[in-house]
Structure 1
Amino acid sequence: MPTSSRFVVVALLFISFSSYCQKKELLAQPTKYNITIDGKVSEDEWLQNPNTATDFVMYQPDNGKPINKDKQTDVKVLYNNDAIYISAILNDNEPSKIRREITNRDVFGVSDHFSVSINGFNDGQQDFRFYVSAAGVQMDCIATEGSEDFSWDAIWDSSVKITDTGWIVEMKIPYAALRFSGAPTQTWGLNFMREIKRDAQKYTWNYIDTKIGNEITQAGLLKGIENIKPPIRLFFIPYVSGYYQEDKLASDRTVKAGLDIKYGINDSFTLDAILVPDFGQTKFDNAILNLEPFEQRLDENRPFFTEGTNLFNIGNLFYSRRIGGAPSTYPSTATNEEVTNYPSSANLINAVKISGRTEKGLGIGFLNALTKRTFATILNTDTEESRKELIEPMANYNIIVLDQRFNQNSSVSFVNTNTTRNGSFRDANVAALVFDLSTKTNSYNLYGDFKYSTINDVVDYNGYKTSLNFAKTRGKYRYLLSGKYISENYDVNDLGIIFYTNYHNAYANGSYRILNPTKYFNTFKVEQELNLEIQNTTGKFQEAWYKTLFKATTKNNHYLEFSIVATPVETFDFYEPRVGGSYVQVPRRISSYFGVEFNANSPFTFDFTPSIVAYDQKNRITYGIAVGPKYRFNDKLSLSYILDYSNRKNDRGWVGFTSDDIIFGQRDREILQNDITGKYAINNKMTVNLTARYYWSYSENHNFLTLQQDGYLTPNTTYTLNKDRNFNSWNFDLAYSWWFAPGSEMSVLYRNYSLERGTTVEKNLNTNFKSAFNGNLTNILSISFRYFIDYNRVKNKF
């Protein structure tokens, strides 16, 4: 190639790269009118608006590749005092191939998508993202570096229309759904994304370089919004619900009514309050046979505690199931007394949260909740008289978060959680300083924390935890070095959750990834990890493993994952004995799994994951498999099934105590879980959903062993108590949901469930399945109405 030609090519590449690196700008056009959201884009305001966002660039998989001309995408923005309006014309030369599965809200499914990401402070810290599918389904989230919180739901309007040349999106996003400063002239961070599902491709308006970990700092700019006067942000969501419940022993009818309030204190902060809460239609908990030394960690399904709680999750000190969770004490009884009723939870009286972020990047979060007194019923077996004993007093839960962000990619946070119980019951307080610092180019990241806990109980005690982490976060090769120390008395379990304390840890991770597709893979990553945990008191290994992990997506959109973990030394479990100062030896072991998920865009897809753990102990092995077929009959109807099975041969675990000894069992365990989910979408606002789960597990002891002081087990031939377990759990939900107006929903739920446990192992699956229904099966039918009221609309009408 001649020198002059080479110079031209290099110059063009430099100009192209420079244009990608520069932030694109889009000018919003003012309008005096409210635009009709119908997907037609026919108003003069759209047609006469000369400002267009176009020239999209591929984000995944071939990062940086310009979009094809036959997929040209043109976006415009209008605004008035109520909202911003967005129109997107998404050309497609094969409109019949546009994927448009109808799903529930916040479920992406197999559909093409368009989204807008808005950062009202243009600080590179937090996006409000609004997605709409080609089927007209809405999704929204609050995004921070590395995470998207889809539990957050805003009230906004959208419409789509399929045309002969592609599809069109119209969106109206009220200012109430955003956060921005009160400045007369606004400059917002802005990006648009288009996903073409059949090609497994995503494009963005402003180029996002995948070599850089932080996407939010790579947004373009929205300018032109001036002198807006947003209306008062005040919303009321009253509800009324009715329940009919029956089982073999009794039936009951209940009617509830209450109110949720959302109030915009100013342009940045919002108050959320629930008065007389009702969580009767939340998803059921997955009950299991729990033989571990720790409680089962449960998912949060109550909307108030999942929506917009990203601030409160800083520092990982907030486990919201503590609020309205299990009582903190168990009643004391005499030899002639027994507990006949022990409530599983305390009732919530009300809850309030305030959250937002100032123009200078200070995020402030405040959450407060109050729960009722809870009593257990105790029966005197001699007199047949019952008495009540207080097991949980009125309790107040409180969280305060201050999160200062700066340089568009760094933050320092202070978090305080407090639990105060009336009377002489246990109180707790935890304070934390958390920092996350990145270089200007997002190449390196330093983060860590210092946390201090204080418990006021019969015996007061304090504890602390600290960690420091350094990571390379840019390029094909990345790494992470980490260390932490946790003292023995560090305790956050009154409003958080922690299982392991009293150890120090060192961790290293190195990874390689491809940034653009190769001949065989769209994505590929390999990681090497080393983790060492040493118990502080004894100096023994609590964990010691080396891990290799592969993740890849093929050119046919199949997903592959493989891992192998080796623990080449014996470790010690300091919790399984259930006695402080005791520990049990865990032999050397190696574990592995291989996961495959076939192209999720196909009508029929299938995934399976076999796994194995082999111990350096005679005949001790654990193996399992998870299998999940899914079939999409059409864009409205789909059905999926997951079978998760594991078998633990010659497992060893605590079973009880004698006067002098800690007794372990050598046991076989099997766990089988079946999940069926189905969806029929009548339209994009009305769906019928099915969720069913059957879980069966048993534990059968062959031999008993005595724990020695050195952590090893010796045979015990005198312990004869029956410690076998058989457990069945059944849950079934059939729900109809209709979003009949923005933010307003009518739902009908039929639920039945049962739980059966015993000490006789039954290995016949059919017999176990029948026993789940022959027990005390509970049936519930409920109807709920929630109606969203905008104060401004009501005010304007009157």
Structure 2
Amino acid sequence: MTYRLIILLLLLCNKAIYAQNNAVSIPGKQSNPVSPEKKKLKTILSNENISIDGELNESIWQKAEAATDFVMFDPDNGKSIPSTKKSDIKVIYDNEAIYIGAMLNDDEPNKIMKEITQRDDDGSSDFFGVSLNGYNDGQQEFRFFVTAAGVQLDCNSNPQTGEDFSWDAIWESKTKITDKGWIVEIKIPYSALRFSKENMQTWGINFLRQIRRNRQLYTWTHIDNNKGSFEQQAGELHGIENIKTPTRLFLFPYASVYVSNDKENGTKTELKGGLDIKYGINDAFTLDAILVPDFGQTALDNKILNLGPFEQQFNENRPFFTEGTDLFSKGALFYSRRIGGKPSLKKKNLEKEIETDEVIDEYPSKVNLLNALKISGRTKSGLGIGFLNAITEKTEATLLDTLSQHKRKVIIEPIANFSILTLDQRFNKNSSVSLVNTNVTRDGHFKDANVTALVWDLNTTKNTFNLSGDFKYSNVNEYKNLNNRKGYNTSLNFAETSGKIRFNVGAKYVSKEFDNNDLGINFQTNYSSLSGNINYRMLKPSENLNAFRLNVNYYSEYENITGKLQSFNLNTNYHFTTKNNDGYGFGIDSKPVNTYDFYSPGVSGRYVTIPKNYGAWVYYSSNYNKKLAIDINPYFTEYFQGDRMEYGVSFGPRYRLNNKISFRLNYDFNKQNSDRGFVDYQGDEIIYAQRDVNSSTLALSTKYALNNKMTININSRYYWSYVQNDKFFSLQPDGELSASNYTNLLNQDFNTWNIDCSYSWWISPGSQLNMLYRNISSNDLSEIQGINKNVSHNFNSLFGDKLQHTFSISLRYFLDYNRAKNWI
């Protein structure tokens, strides 16, 4: 069966490549010739007071040069914009900011799509954007978008990591729909940009326009999808001279009130206040600091029943650790959830150290952050410097002597300092070499950790080939063991990055003692791997398709000491978009040999055999422009081990009632039949169980936008997972499982519920009022005899006495030093 599957996979690959190569050549269809010379635009100095009202009625706009002749980026790369959609863009500047005025013609203005959404979400809307690079080095751009509904989006972008929409700047914009199309007026303060101090400035620039109803994206300078990155093909902005930028000092004072209620603790009220600071050290570098942080309104973690040997990884929801952190992502050493995360001394380890008559009376689940700062920026020579430092407070658990009723404190996390330093040198407008260091220093009898990495990303001049890799070295000092654990992690990858057919090959080696988990996250060590990929993509639409991509992938992984195969995978997948902008895809996965899991047994040197298996998946995603759109993704995996298999489906309909109201439902179902997994230790015996695992998630999101400054959002999630053990096995030294007399059932039943109802009002640029009502509940049962499979019973069990209610109001206000000093 396995060999027939591999042969079928290869035949499908050959057939798809042949079919798509024929489909690309369309008789009579020619692309427009594009000059390789960069487009240039000249800006002029304004002495007028520019009102951001979407009118462009100041006289200075009539004097400015216009950028026009837009070219399609996607789907028909290189095709000129129709004359009926002519776009004229002008740029002017003064000592405070740069201004962009856009006249976007549309012969069918009633068809301009303009859904109102939250910030950084374009929804189903037309948009206009500008990309600015103050150093004109083809490396990092700051991008500012405005939808036809007036919603702002902003991000920074570079060729290595792509767009980062977690970055937020403070700027102004206004849009206006007319009988000829729509108008955009934008003011971007210099404080939102980075550039040198030269008297004569030359910036990289490009403009973007999306016509949503046709799913077409146009750019001012042609971005050839066959070479280089978006940033490296920008045009040039000339004419900025002798600007005198103001002091970049911004204050963000905030005040919050929280009212919480649950049956155990009653009603509590808490007031919080604090200050965030942003200071421009110079035109290139910025300092951000938070004093007395308040993260009470951040999104909740989507917890699941975790049956694997590794911790669940969560998204970062705290703005300070998501905004402008691209430098800190180099080398993948930084997992910001470690800062203010769980205590170092785990509860189960604390239980081993307490006295005979003691119990744990109170154990804080997280460590509070005291303050944090970051400094980041880039010099004209391309040297990026990023430094982040955070301090967390000493955290103690309370132990109770059940005989004397005496309580004592035990430190479970001392005061700790977390820092990361990145030096990133860019060159040739497409390459970089980085040095990264992370450090965690704890007070007292706790471990310290330090990790250093050299990271490189090298591209040929014509962006046809790439060589990337890294070398990481970790040094962890375990205080109680009085020894240092030193390890390393290195990888090398080579890829062709242009043309219809591309490939990459890579290798990696990780030593047993490598450990970056004090400020990073890393699940596996002590292995080496080989990987490869070949892919084909359409560069031009065909007669029936707007886009098509085929991937064939190979991956193998070996345990270093025994040489045993930890992973072996062959897979192929296909993705295509029709002329109606509906998306389709499918894939076939094959693991044709047995592999060995060295992690779930939890004992050094022990492993369990994972049988060979194969699987497949398919997805359909309808055009989101339609009021009703649907995403669906069924999948399955079958193992060569009895009736063991896994299958599931993700189903996500979304409905847009109008430009203000929309609904989105997501349902995920997963079932594992006769799964084999670790459950317990019985003396020296490692116990595994044959089990059925059922998991379901139902999430509903509702958005009501009063206008482009005010939105009401309701997000709810119900998750239920249960495990039923059928029979038990003892893990043998050769990795096989044999029958065991183990009798504990250890069945598990986990439910969780949460709902967030929020109102957000952007009072003015940078200033926001948030109101949030949240209730949460969870029910975690283990070692139970039977499981109630009635959905309504399990859902209702989460309510009543278990619900925790929180209502909060938070006001964050933006103060510009240059304006505040005039008030004083």
Q: What's 2:273 paired with?
A: 257
Inter-partner Cα distance in structure 2 for 1:189 and 1:48: 22
- 1:213 to 1:664, Cα distance in 2 relative to 1, 3 A: farther
Inter-partner Cα distance in structure 1 for 2:167 and 2:422: 18
* Residue type at the aligned position of 2:341: G
Q: What's 2:60 paired with?
A: 45
Matched, 1:293 2:309: yes
Checking the alignment, whether the CA contact within 8 Å between 2:262 and 2:801 is kept in structure 1 is no
Q: Which runs of 4+ in 1 moved over 6 A?
A: none
* Residue type at the aligned position of 2:818: N
Inter-partner Cα distance in structure 2 for 1:619 and 1:336: 48
Q: What's 1:518 paired with?
A: 542
Report the 3-state secondary structure (helix = DSSP H, G, I; strand = E; otherwise coil) of the residue aligned with 1:277: coil
Matched, 1:603 2:618: no
Inter-partner Cα distance in structure 2 for 1:394 and 1:597: 49
Checking the alignment, whether the CA contact within 8 Å between 1:735 and 1:748 is kept in structure 2 is yes
Checking the alignment, whether the CA contact within 8 Å between 2:201 and 2:238 is kept in structure 1 is yes
Could you report, residue by residue, the CA deviation over 1:606-655 in whole angstroms, capped at 9, with x for unpaired residues? 11100101000101010000000000000000010000000000111111
* Residue type at the aligned position of 2:70: F
From 800, 808, 814, give the equivalent of 1:782.
808
From 763, 785, 788, give the equivalent of 1:762.
788
Return the offset for 1:18. 4.7
The answer to which of 677-686 and 370-379 deviates more is 370-379
Q: What's 2:462 paired with?
A: 441
From 672, 697, 721, give the equivalent of 1:648.
672
From 92, 95, 107, give the equivalent of 2:109.
95
The answer to which of 409-418 and 288-297 deviates more is 288-297
Inter-partner Cα distance in structure 2 for 1:575 and 1:80: 61
* Residue type at the aligned position of 2:273: A
Return the offset for 1:291. 1.2
Could you report, residue by residue, the CA deviation over 1:289-319 in whole angstroms, capped at 9, with x for unpaired residues? 1111111101100000000000001110000
Q: What's 1:279 paired with?
A: 295
Inter-partner Cα distance in structure 1 for 2:588 and 2:122: 31
Inter-partner Cα distance in structure 1 for 2:657 and 2:88: 33
Q: What's 1:10 paired with?
A: none
Checking the alignment, whether the CA contact within 8 Å between 1:73 and 1:88 is kept in structure 2 is yes
Q: What's 2:8 paired with?
A: none
Could you report, residue by residue, the CA deviation over 1:256-304 in whole angstroms, capped at 9, with x for unpaired residues? 0000000000000000000000000000111111111111101100000
* Residue type at the aligned position of 1:570: N
* Residue type at the aligned position of 1:387: R
Q: What's 1:310 paired with?
A: 326
Checking the alignment, whether the CA contact within 8 Å between 1:646 and 1:672 is kept in structure 2 is yes
Matched, 1:396 2:420: no
Inter-partner Cα distance in structure 1 for 2:745 and 2:442: 39
* Residue type at the aligned position of 1:218: Q
Checking the alignment, whether the CA contact within 8 Å between 1:754 and 1:775 is kept in structure 2 is no
From 419, 430, 439, give the equivalent of 1:418.
439
Q: What's 2:402 paired with?
A: 381
After superposition, residues 58-137 of structure 1 pair within 5 angstroms as 58-137=72-151
Q: What's 2:227 paired with?
A: 212
Could you report, residue by residue, the CA deviation over 1:352-382 in whole angstroms, capped at 9, with x for unpaired residues? 0000000100000000000001111223333
Inter-partner Cα distance in structure 2 for 1:674 and 1:386: 43
Inter-partner Cα distance in structure 1 for 2:406 and 2:799: 33
The answer to which of 456-465 and 335-344 deviates more is 335-344
* Residue type at the aligned position of 1:439: T
**Alpha carbon RMSD of aligned pairs, Å?**
1.1
Checking the alignment, whether the CA contact within 8 Å between 2:34 and 2:78 is kept in structure 1 is no
Identity %: 53
Q: What's 2:390 paired with?
A: 369
Could you report, residue by residue, the CA deviation over 1:719-766 in whole angstroms, capped at 9, with x for unpaired residues? 112311000100110000000011000010000001111133221111
Report the 3-state secondary structure (helix = DSSP H, G, I; strand = E; otherwise coil) of the residue aligned with 1:324: coil
After superposition, residues 454-473 of structure 1 pair within 5 angstroms as 454-457=475-478, 458=481, 459-473=483-497
The answer to which of 588-597 and 778-787 deviates more is 588-597
Could you report, residue by residue, the CA deviation over 1:412-435 in whole angstroms, capped at 9, with x for unpaired residues? 000000000001201000000000
After superposition, residues 680-695 of structure 1 pair within 5 angstroms as 680-695=704-719
Report the 3-state secondary structure (helix = DSSP H, G, I; strand = E; otherwise coil) of the residue aligned with 1:38: coil
Report the 3-state secondary structure (helix = DSSP H, G, I; strand = E; otherwise coil) of the residue aligned with 2:277: strand
Checking the alignment, whether the CA contact within 8 Å between 1:211 and 1:515 is kept in structure 2 is yes
Using the size of structure 1 for normalisation, the TM-score is 0.97
Return the offset for 1:774. 3.6
Q: What's 1:663 paired with?
A: 687
* Residue type at the aligned position of 1:690: I
Matched, 1:55 2:69: yes
Matched, 1:358 2:379: yes
Q: What's 2:765 paired with?
A: 742
Matched, 1:234 2:257: no
Checking the alignment, whether the CA contact within 8 Å between 2:70 and 2:87 is kept in structure 1 is yes
Q: What's 2:41 paired with?
A: 26
* Residue type at the aligned position of 1:553: T
Return the offset for 1:22. 1.3
* Residue type at the aligned position of 1:81: N
Inter-partner Cα distance in structure 2 for 1:225 and 1:794: 27
Q: What's 2:20 paired with?
A: none
Inter-partner Cα distance in structure 2 for 1:42 and 1:679: 35
After superposition, residues 182-193 of structure 1 pair within 5 angstroms as 182-193=197-208
Inter-partner Cα distance in structure 1 for 2:77 and 2:188: 29
Inter-partner Cα distance in structure 1 for 2:801 and 2:311: 25
From 731, 737, 746, give the equivalent of 1:707.
731
Inter-partner Cα distance in structure 1 for 2:649 and 2:217: 33
Inter-partner Cα distance in structure 1 for 2:821 and 2:103: 35
From 675, 678, 681, give the equivalent of 2:702.
678
* Residue type at the aligned position of 1:212: K
Using the size of structure 2 for normalisation, the TM-score is 0.94
Inter-partner Cα distance in structure 2 for 1:143 and 1:166: 29
Report the 3-state secondary structure (helix = DSSP H, G, I; strand = E; otherwise coil) of the residue aligned with 1:460: strand
Return the offset for 1:344. 1.3
After superposition, residues 336-355 of structure 1 pair within 5 angstroms as 336-355=357-376
* Residue type at the aligned position of 1:779: H
After superposition, residues 480-495 of structure 1 pair within 5 angstroms as 480-495=504-519
* Residue type at the aligned position of 1:343: P
Checking the alignment, whether the CA contact within 8 Å between 1:756 and 1:775 is kept in structure 2 is no
Checking the alignment, whether the CA contact within 8 Å between 2:690 and 2:727 is kept in structure 1 is yes
- 1:775 to 1:578, Cα distance in 2 relative to 1, 3 A: farther
Q: What's 1:243 paired with?
A: 258
* Residue type at the aligned position of 1:95: P
Report the 3-state secondary structure (helix = DSSP H, G, I; strand = E; otherwise coil) of the residue aligned with 1:225: strand
Could you report, residue by residue, the CA deviation over 1:509-562 in whole angstroms, capped at 9, with x for unpaired residues? 000000111111101000000001011011111110101011111111111121
Q: What's 1:8 paired with?
A: none
Q: What's 2:819 paired with?
A: 793
Return the offset for 1:386. 2.7
Could you report, residue by residue, the CA deviation over 1:689-725 in whole angstroms, capped at 9, with x for unpaired residues? 1110000000110101100011111111x21123110
Return the offset for 1:110. 0.1
Matched, 1:559 2:583: yes
Q: List gaps (5 residues or longer) in structure 2.
A: 1-29
Q: What's 1:170 paired with?
A: 185
Could you report, residue by residue, the CA deviation over 1:594-613 in whole angstroms, capped at 9, with x for unpaired residues? 11111111011011100101
Checking the alignment, whether the CA contact within 8 Å between 1:361 and 1:404 is kept in structure 2 is yes
* Residue type at the aligned position of 1:284: L
Could you report, residue by residue, the CA deviation over 1:393-418 in whole angstroms, capped at 9, with x for unpaired residues? 00000100000000000000000000
